[in-house]
Amino acid sequence: MNTDFSHITDIEGMRFINEEDALNKLINEIHTRHIDLKDSIMLALSFNALYLANALAQKFGATYDILFLEPILAPLNSKCEIALVSESMDIVMNESLINSFDIALDYVYGEAKRAYEEDILSRIYQYRKGNAIKSLKDKNIFIVDRGIETGFRAGLGVQTCLKKECQDIYILTPILAQNVAQGLESLCDGVISVYRPECFVSVEHHYKELKRLSNEEIEKYLGANNAPNLKKEH
């Protein structure tokens, strides 16, 4: 019988008090690694990443935006994500799930189109007044989230940034699983994090206090997000 419970102690030690604590520790990591964020773009992967994106942009003289993503769910299981689509209509698929459920690719592409038209476009009009995402061309991009569980969303973020001809791409997050970090490092120019537990529980587990942004807070963050980008980017 294995009585080595050190991994449990390690997991419990890799916790933040709240997002401010995570931010401060992430800033220390950035300074330690001598990463230059000035004039770059912090790209939030979710509404709940906006606190970090905004704070980092203010701290290091950068700007920020959000990349709208929408999950594509299995036809017979509304809790099972089989793919993701971005506002640039980039798609990543969980091929093992799609194959195991024998889901036709026509279904995936059809649902991606529906999710874009019904969900993503409505968010673009609500939160960006219909404006496109900031131009990422020739910019250093730091993809930001308050924690990364599977790397699925971050991988789609990298794919979208590459399509938009950015310069360098980094993942910037307080915590992510060790194996996920290794996978993402093969896709981008670097992964910057505070903790990389071998046994990752969930993002929520690694924060003692974690709140969800209200709609008013989201609108405030995105409304204060510099000048609008009026030129549609292709």
State the Cα–Cα distance between residues 122 and 119, nearest whole angstrom.
5
User: Beta strand pairing status for 69-74 and 77-86?
Assistant: antiparallel
Token representation of residue 225: 């997000």
Q: Which amino acid is at 163?
A: K
> 142 forms bridges with which residues in the sheet?
42, 170
State the Cα–Cα distance between residues 186 and 207, nearest whole angstrom.
27
Tens digit of each residue's pLDDT (9 = 90 or more) over 130-144: 999 999 999 999 999
Taking phi over 0 as left and psi of -120 to 50 as alpha, with beta for the rest, 61 belongs to: left
Token representation of residue 39: 């004039």
Tens digit of each residue's pLDDT (9 = 90 or more) over 80-102: 999 999 999 999 999 999 999 99
What pTM did the predictor assign?
Answer: 0.88
Kindly list the structural domains of the chain, giving each domain's residue range(s) and its CATH number in brackets, ordered by start.
Answer: 16-67+135-223 (3.40.50.2020), 71-128 (no CATH)
